[in-house]
């Protein structure tokens, strides 16, 4: 089974392969960088739009380039305000070759005020950039990410995305209930 994922980030690619391999045999994942058409740090519903746009772009590329994929995965990280607090989360949109869709989210986790206020005041800055400054590391979004840092390594960024991918697959695993 061939799966396209709209990111070259190794964490997202590995998470996609692991999530699909829970349910399907011989999973091959091809990473293609596609635009989300949303801001650098999506807020609220914009996060869903970004994931959906990535999946749709992959489906179009699949047709145009005859890539023979069965699933198209868009993953977008965002932030959302709930109860006067900012939370980080990821959205996954999975499309199949028939145009059917499944959505999932990663767990939500609260951001410290110092980080959320930085995200709000700086244009074109994403959580990964702020986390690089906080941790003193480079490219944390391709490593532990914010969730890995804040959980002290108990939950990896890959595990975080596997959870969201797994629940985004639910409609495809139960097609008789979801796609009547």
pLDDT digits (tens, 9 = 90+) for 142-173: 778 899 999 999 999 999 999 999 999 999 99
Please, what is the Cα angle at 156 between 161 and 52, to 5 degrees?
15
Rounded CA-CA distance 69/82 in Å is: 37
Q: Are 15 and 162 in contact (CB under 8 A)?
A: yes
137 confidence band (pLDDT: 50, 70, 90): confident
Q: How far is CA 114 from the centre of its chain?
A: 24
What would the CATH number be for the domain defined by 2-111+155-178?
A: 3.90.950.10
C-alpha 114/C-alpha 146 separation (Å) is: 14
Query: Using 50, 70 and 90 to split pLDDT, how confident is the model at 134?
Result: confident
Cα(10)–Cα(159) distance, integer angstroms = 13
Question: Domain map of the chain by residue range?
Answer: 2-111+155-178
pLDDT band at 179 (very low <50, low <70, confident <90, very high): very high
Q: Is 63 strand, coil or helix?
A: helix
CA torsion sign for 148, 78, 94, 65 is negative
Q: Interhelix angle for 10-21 vs 157-168, to 10°? A: 50
Q: Which tens digits make up the pLDDT trace of 58-88?
A: 999 999 999 999 999 999 999 999 999 999 9
Q: Which of 159, 143, 154, 146 is nearest to 110 (CA)?
A: 146
DSSP H/E element including 85: strand 85-96
Residue 174 tokens read as 């139960």
* Residue-level pLDDT at 131: 87
Cα(157)–Cα(150) distance, integer angstroms: 11
Q: Give the model confidence (pLDDT) of 1-54 as tens digits.
A: 999 999 999 999 999 999 999 999 999 999 999 999 999 999 999 999 999 999
Residues 106-122: tens digit of each pLDDT: 999 999 999 999 888 87
């Amino acid at each position: 089974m061939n799966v396209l994922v709209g990111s070259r980030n190794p964490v997202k690619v590995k998470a996609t392969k692991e999530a699909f391999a829970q349910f399907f045999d011989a999973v091959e994942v091809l990473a293609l960088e596609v635009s989300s058409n949303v801001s650098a740090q999506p807020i609220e519903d914009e996060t869903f739009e970004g994931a959906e746009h990535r999946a749709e772009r992959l489906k179009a590329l699949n047709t145009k380039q005859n890539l023979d994929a069965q699933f198209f995965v868009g993953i977008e990280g965002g932030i959302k305000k709930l109860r006067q607090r900012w939370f980080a989360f990821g959205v996954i949109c999975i499309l199949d070759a028939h145009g059917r869709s499944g959505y999932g989210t990663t767990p939500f986790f609260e951001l410290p005020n110092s980080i959320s206020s930085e995200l709000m005041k700086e244009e074109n800055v994403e959580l990964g950039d702020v986390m690089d400054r906080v941790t003193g590391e480079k490219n944390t979004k391709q490593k532990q990410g914010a969730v890995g840092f804040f959980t002290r390594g108990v939950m990896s960024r890959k595990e975080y995305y596997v959870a969201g991918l797994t629940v985004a697959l639910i409609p495809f695993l139960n097609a008789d209930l979801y796609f009547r």
